[in-house]
A and B are shown apart, each in its own frame.
Chain A
Amino acid sequence: MNSATVRNLLVRGMLAGLAAGVLALVVAYFLGEPAVDKAIGFEEAHSHEHEMEVVSRSLQSTAGLATGVLVYGVAFGGIAALAFCFALGRVGRFSPRATALLLSGCALVAVYVVPFLKYPANPPSVGSPDTIGKRTTLYFLMMLLSVLLAVAATLLGKRLAPRLGTWWATVGAVAAFVVVVALAYRFLPVVNEVPKDFPATLLWRFRLSALAVQSVLWGGFGLVFGELAERLLNPKPAEAASGRAVPAAH
């Protein structure tokens, strides 16, 4: 039974990731693509060599974008569902739905926001091709470090809870996470490869839209997966809801 539950949750996680990916794709297309196009315009105006187009811009901004965002959604949906299986009933007194949303919020911070604040997303024409190896290593390192630290902070919080109570244990664990992340920010190398005359507003708009894509992806995932998990693990929600629906008269 339990192995089947894990499998069912995994399948639901990947489906919820796909659904969240569709939402994120809408944001990426309407908020992100205009900034990408402007950045490519800047790149073409400032470079003399013309690269041969392997994939046309119209394909990159539609089918290509969709492939990337949806695969990303499915992959992280699967990983998050597996993390949910570990977290359920172990992190605290949370229902499946609340566990899912809490997990998504933490994943947004650990997987994206923490690496983003040190190594933010860059539009085309920002970043020298010569340093791609170094930048990729640093980005994935920051992501891995942040996820491991979030897991460690959760375990620390569990350890502290019996002595400090849930509230102060949580505050302490979050504070420890912030301090270690700040140290990592301080000691990991700085990357700044923004061309001198690149428009600041365009960079800001691109980075905000990249953040919006991830917020919608993880927010959507938390809500959709939470609902699916709740229905799987606590069936008959209709009865339970009608039993509690008394204050609706107000």
Chain B
Amino acid sequence: MAQTVAQPTATTPVVPAKLPLKAIAPWAVFFGILMLVLLYFVGAEQGATSVFNGTDVHEWVHDARHLLGFPCH
């Protein structure tokens, strides 16, 4: 909180201020995992492994899986 935001002056700052790792870490952990779960459902669910039974997820994203480069079937 004590840190002040770098004020943009007439000459643009050469190197942008670093964001502290402590501020990034919680977001990276929670959202990183959430995003990876999303990617799993687009890319691999009901292909090599299944969380849900059936083939609905696989069939629904079938074309996207092929065109995004994931092994489909």
Contacts and interface: CB of A to CB of B under 8 A. Distances in A.
Interface stretch (A73-81, A181-189, A194-202): A73-81
Interface string A70-98: 01101110110010011011100111100
A28 B67 contact: yes
A47 interface: no
B39 to A, nearest CB: 5
B72 A96 contact: no
Interface string A184-224: 00000000000000000000001001100110000000000
A61 B63 CA distance: 6
B10 A36 contact: no
B51 interface: no
B27 interface: yes
A72 B16 contact: no
A72 B69 contact: no
A39 to B, nearest CB: 8
A213 B67 contact: yes
Contacts of B70: 121, 136, 139
Given A28-B67, A60-B59, A235-B8, A88 B48 contact: no
Interface-centre pick from A1, A28, A75 (highest chain B CB count, 10 A): A75
Contact of A120 (B28, B31, B69): B69
A136 B68 contact: no
B59 A123 contact: no
A102 B64 CA distance: 26
Interface-centre pick from B32, B48, B63 (highest chain A CB count, 10 A): B63
Contact of B64 (A65, A90, A99, A136): A65
Contacts of A74: 35, 38
B1 to A, nearest CB: 7
A71 B38 contact: yes
Nearest to A121: B69
B16 A28 contact: no
A100 to B, nearest CB: 11
B72 A90 contact: no
Interface stretch (A125-133, A157-165, A172-180): A125-133
Interface of B: 1, 3, 5, 8, 10, 12-21, 23-24, 26-28, 31-32, 34-36, 38-39, 41-44, 47-49, 55-56, 59-73
Interface of A: 1-3, 5-7, 10, 28, 32-33, 36, 54-55, 59-61, 63-69, 71-72, 74-76, 78-79, 82, 85-86, 88-90, 93-96, 99, 112, 115-116, 119-124, 127, 129, 132-133, 135-137, 139-140, 206, 209-210, 213-214, 233-236, 240, 243
18 contacts: A6-B23, A28-B67, A60-B62, A60-B63, A61-B63, A64-B64, A69-B64, A71-B42, A76-B35, A85-B28, A88-B17, A119-B71, A135-B71, A139-B69, A140-B44, A206-B66, A233-B16, A240-B12
